[in-house]
């Protein structure tokens, strides 16, 4: 899966979550999109690791009440 495809899918997920009024989840997805936009991965494992790390960071921030 290409980086652009992942970004597109995550963007669609953010819109879907917005429509469903699941704002906290949407914020987490948008945070992950932002982190992925910072560095463009060429390797699938690197991309998977970045997505995982972004999700962990967003979860930590959510648990601390920061997002």
User: Which pLDDT belongs to residue 24?
Assistant: 87
The residues, ordered by sequence, that sit 6+ positions from 42 with a Cβ below 8 Å of its Cβ are 3
pTM attached to this predicted model: 0.54
- What span, in angstroms and rounded, lies between the C-alpha atoms of 14 and 64? 22
What pLDDT does residue 49 have?
78
Each residue's pLDDT expressed in tens, for the chain with a length of 67 residues: 677 788 888 888 889 988 888 888 888 888 888 877 776 655 666 777 777 888 888 888 888 887 7
List CB contacts of 54: < 8 A, sequence separation 6 or more.
31, 32, 35, 36
Return the DSSP state at 62.
Answer: H
pLDDT of residue 39: 64
Could you give the CA distance from residue 30 to residue 24 in angstroms, rounded to a whole number? 10
């Amino acid at each position: 899966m290409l980086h652009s495809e992942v970004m597109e899918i995550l963007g669609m997920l953010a819109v879907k979550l917005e429509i469903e009024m699941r704002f906290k989840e949407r914020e987490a997805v948008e945070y992950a999109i932002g982190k992925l936009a910072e560095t463009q991965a060429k390797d699938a494992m690197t991309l998977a690791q970045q997505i995982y790390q972004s999700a962990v960071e967003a979860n930590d921030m959510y648990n601390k009440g920061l997002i």
